[in-house]
Structures are given as structure tokens and as C-alpha cells.
Structure 1
């Protein structure tokens, strides 16, 4: 390592702690229990050591494909609190069920991911409580995203598979069980927008509108969209605006929407899904 010692290939319990230390850390966060909330958790000392060896700092992102109990997130929160860094983490966890006989299941954690999420919340709260001034501007928030099927209905059918009565059902191409948040994150993924950007909601002309990163993106997925609403939204001059394709009150509104934006906010990119 430049300006320091070459790291050793053997990391001992004395240097970074062992599984018993990892269990003690979880007990301190989740409260004393007779059994372990998670089997064989890694100690945060080990992850912090590996992060320091890797040179992860500043605004770097740590990716952990086997998040388990969430040790990586806990370690990064601690490091950021210690040195004022703004490291981020992405944790990936399969929807693995907790053993019904386990301490975790008895405590209400049905999946491993449930343990992970609560551990991150508790780790952030602990840092805030122990060092309120140091952690004053510390970002301990996180977002949970789950893989799901497409928001869009299947629209590719052979002619003999579609009956006359089925045609009206194809007017709206979005599945009925999806929420506006589902649509929003689909748009963020389609446009390659950072999923960690701040999101706010406002009511404009009686319609709920999502704003991502200020005016970087405005999204409204309600029905009955009229020209009055479109004009009001255009005065906010968002960089991008997105609507539900079946949400327009009439065909004329759908046709005129781009012209309205060209007059009021010509730099806005308009899209419908």
C-alpha cells in the first residue's frame, strides 16, 4: 500500500474480531436474547479492515452480493461517522426464509432480508445516539427495492387468441395491481436515473406529482389529465416529464401535451408509459 504497510494475507481474531464479536454486535443492536438473531455474522471490524485495504473512500460505492445480516452497511455507516465520508452501499439478498425454529423467526423476522433492513435502521440510530454532533449530517437513510415482473401487460397475441370483447381491456397497458411508485421506479430504470436520488410529492391542480432530485424529473400517473394540469406542471420547467399513457382525459390532451411544453418549457423532454 502506498504510504503504508503491505496488508497481511492472514486476518486474525485479534486484528478484526471473529464470529463471536459479530454476534455480540448484533445483540447490542437488537437487544439481549438467549439465542443468536443470525448465525455466524461477520464482525464489522473485518469489513472495515477490507474497506480500508481496498481504498474505498469519498463517494465510492460498496457492492455486497451476499448481504446476510447487513454487516457491510453497518461498517460503512461507522466509517462515514468516523471520518465524514459519504460512502454508499448496495446490498443484494435473495428472499431466503428464516428457519421457523430460529430466534429471528420468533422475533418476527420472516426472511433474512428483514433482519438486514432492521439492522441498518438500528445501526444508524445507534450512531446518531452515540455521536449526535458528529453524526449531525450523516446520511443513514436507505431504499429497499424488490425484483418483480413487468408493470406492463402482455400485449403480444396471435390474432386467433384475441376476441372482440378483449380489445377494450388493451386500452390501458399497465397491470391493475401496480402502484404509482412501481411506475416511477420503472421510469427511473428506463432513463438510467440514480435510484438513490431524493423524491418528493406535491399536489398540482388536484393531481399527485412525483419530483425526483428537484426538477430533474416530474412524473404523474393519475388519470383524467387535462390541459390545465399540464400547463401548471410545465411552469415548473422540469427537465423531464412522464405520464401514464392511458391517463389523459381525452385524445386532444394527449396530442397537445408536447405543444404545451414547447410553448411553456421547451427544454422539457416528455414521455408517456
Structure 2
């Protein structure tokens, strides 16, 4: 497992530091401290200004330097540390003076780490977790939830979004839901996976999963249900829902042609600039992307004046893509005072509806931002 970042690596939190070695025997007002080395790996010839006798001003005891490891500081800096009570002198002058290192002055409360030997499972654990959910493993080297959960804890706070560009069996989604159940967080996940086909001879294919995405989706459903069942009342408000979106071409027709490409019967095909095979849901999510509305936003499907309407985030966005939309419907929508309202140009029942469209909103909801596709 390789983790890397372009420059500052503080994004990884590391493990909590162990303060067992810190104490405050002299009641130093700066709090608990431990001792650290006061020498550096340089010789007396290499650092002559750091090769000198060190004297305890309170006792007069002299501590001889080590030729192969000179003091870390020149005399002026060392005297300043002594004046600040940051140097600990031992009774035995054959031992080395040490520098106080205060817990209160540490850069952070965690240490970096390069290995995880405890607390995270091996691939065999990941295989078993898939078997527990499906009764079959489907994958040979599934990442264990404990490992991905530990990684998530390192970089994602309680309200962050976790993105996995190689979702596979959706272990990351499983780990995020498990972590939210354990610490009450509200992390969200985005899983990205090409619809790679499963082998027709595989157990996954025989079980009805024709591509990897289908396995991942079902795993999220089953893992979410299992987590809520095991946690009981503690996870009754845990959000395990998700949406499935697929990349596709634009919903809009290509209406740009060279003059030589125009045909007599082309104008009838250009009456509507939206592709015929696109659903209202297709249009809604395109609009949400265009307007910067989160794809995880709450969406309610309602009926206003006899027409199907999508209400996103409690009137933040209202969209209607039905046909034959009358002034009555537009007036009823305007009275809801949405921040955005979107509809198809071809949805308007008549030219008079199109003519009065802006005036209706100017009367009932002038602040609404209108968009016609």
C-alpha cells in the first residue's frame, strides 16, 4: 500500500502519541516533560564551536564533551537553554546532560507511521466479509474493511467526502458506513467503477451479477442493512442510501451544422433540442450539475397542477419536464418561490404560455432564477 502527496504530508494524522514517558518531577510551569539527546553526530574537528566543557551553574560540575558526538548547540545557545531551565544535569558527570522536551510544545498529538501490524486485517478478512454478505466470495483479493476504515480515519473528518476511483467490490463504501455508525460521523462516499464484465464462468456471473458495478451496488445495500441491524438503536438514523449515476453523452442534440449540411426536412427535427431517448431524471441531473447543486441533495417527486415536478432541497430547485404545461401550472410553481426553476422550452402548452412565462414569475416570485432548456 503506497500513500503519497506532492509536498506537505500533514494530511495523514498518524497514531496518537504515547505520553507515558512524560512527567513533571520539578513542577515546571510548562507542564510534563521527557528528556532528549543533547548531542549531534559530528566530531570535534567538524564542529569545533560545539566541542567544549559543559558546566552546571548550580553545582559547578563539569561535563566533558564527546569528540565523536559534540553538543547540539554553541555555548551562547546552550547558556540560553540553561537559563530557561531546559537542561537536565545528572549527578554523575560521566553521564550526559539531557534537554527537556515538553508535551505542550509538540507540533501535534500524533506520530507518523509507516507500518500497520495491529488493528487491520489481511485480504483473507476481506474475502470472509464478502462471503458473509453474499454466501460467496466473488473476488480473490478483496481489501478488508478494517484497513480501509483505518485509512479513512487518517485523512477524513466526520463530514468529509471519500472518493474511490477504483471501487471494485465497494469496500470503501462499506468502511465509510461502518465508521459513521461507530463515531456518529456523516461522511459521504463517491465510488467510481467501469462496468467491467464478469466472467461467464464465475460465481458472480452465475449469481446474476453481469459486471463489477452490480456487485458493488448490492454490497452497499447488504452492508448497510447489516450494519444497521448489528448496531440496533445506535444506528437507527444512519444514512446508508446511495444514488447510481452513469456517464453518458449530453442530453442536448447537436444543433450546429455547416450550411452545406442543412436539409429541407431538418427544421422539424430541430423543434426540440433535447434527445428523444432522455428521461426527466436525465434532464434533472444535468441541470443539477449545471447549477452546482449537490447530486446527493434530497429530491422529492410531487404533482403541481396536474404535472410531475421535481423539488430539490425544499424548493431550492424546482424542475418540470412534462408536456403541455399551462399558465396555471407555472403560476402554482411560482407561488412556491423556488430559488431556481427549470423547464423545457417544448413543455410550454402554447405561445401565450411562453409569452407570459417571465411575467408570471415577476408577479409571484421575482427573485427566482429561471432556466429554459
Name the TM tier (shorter chain). over 0.9
1:146 to 246, 252, 255: 246
Task: With a CA cutoff of 8 Å and minimum separation of 6, indicate the structure with the bigger relative contact order.
Answer: 1
In structure 2, the residue matched to 1:53 is 154
Kindly indicate whether residue 144 of structure 2 is the aligned counterpart of residue 40 of structure 1.
Answer: no
CA–CA distance in structure 2, aligned partners of residues 209 and 235 of structure 1? 14
Runs of 4+ in 1 over 4 A off after TM superposition: none
Aligned residue runs from structure 1 range 94-243, under 5 A: 94-243=194-343
CA–CA distance in structure 2, aligned partners of residues 211 and 176 of structure 1? 23
Listed as ranges, the gaps of 5+ residues in structure 1 are: none
SS in structure 1 opposite 2:233?
coil
Aligned residue runs from structure 1 range 243-262, under 5 A: 243-262=343-362
SS in structure 2 opposite 1:171?
coil
In structure 1, the residue matched to 2:114 is 9
Q: How many aligned positions are there?
A: 268
SS in structure 2 opposite 1:261?
helix
Listed as ranges, the gaps of 5+ residues in structure 2 are: 1-13, 18-109
The alignment's TM-score, normalised by the length of structure 1, stands at 0.95
2:133 to 29, 47, 58: 29
CA–CA distance in structure 1, aligned partners of residues 318 and 236 of structure 2? 30
Q: CA deviation at 1:258?
A: 1.1
More helix by share: 1
* Matched-pair contact (CA < 8 Å) for 1:151–1:182: yes
In structure 1, the residue matched to 2:371 is 271
Q: Mark the CA change 1:53 to 1:189 in structure 2 (over 3 Å): closer, same or farther.
A: same
In structure 1, the residue matched to 2:94 is none
* Matched-pair contact (CA < 8 Å) for 1:7–1:53: no
- The structure that has the greater radius of gyration is 2
* Matched-pair contact (CA < 8 Å) for 2:198–2:204: yes
Cα deviations across residues 186-212 of structure 1 (Å, max 9, x unaligned)? 000110110000100111111000000
* Matched-pair contact (CA < 8 Å) for 1:204–1:229: yes
CA–CA distance in structure 2, aligned partners of residues 156 and 147 of structure 1? 23
* Matched-pair contact (CA < 8 Å) for 1:151–1:178: yes
Q: CA deviation at 1:160?
A: 2.0
Q: CA deviation at 1:99?
A: 1.3
* Matched-pair contact (CA < 8 Å) for 2:300–2:310: yes
Cα deviations across residues 122-178 of structure 1 (Å, max 9, x unaligned)? 011001111220111100001110000111111011122121211111000111111
CA–CA distance in structure 2, aligned partners of residues 24 and 8 of structure 1? 27
Q: CA deviation at 1:2?
A: 7.9
Kindly indicate whether residue 182 of structure 2 is the aligned counterpart of residue 77 of structure 1.
Answer: no
* Matched-pair contact (CA < 8 Å) for 1:47–1:71: yes
SS in structure 2 opposite 1:203?
strand
Cα deviations across residues 212-236 of structure 1 (Å, max 9, x unaligned)? 0010000000111111111111111
CA–CA distance in structure 2, aligned partners of residues 67 and 80 of structure 1? 19
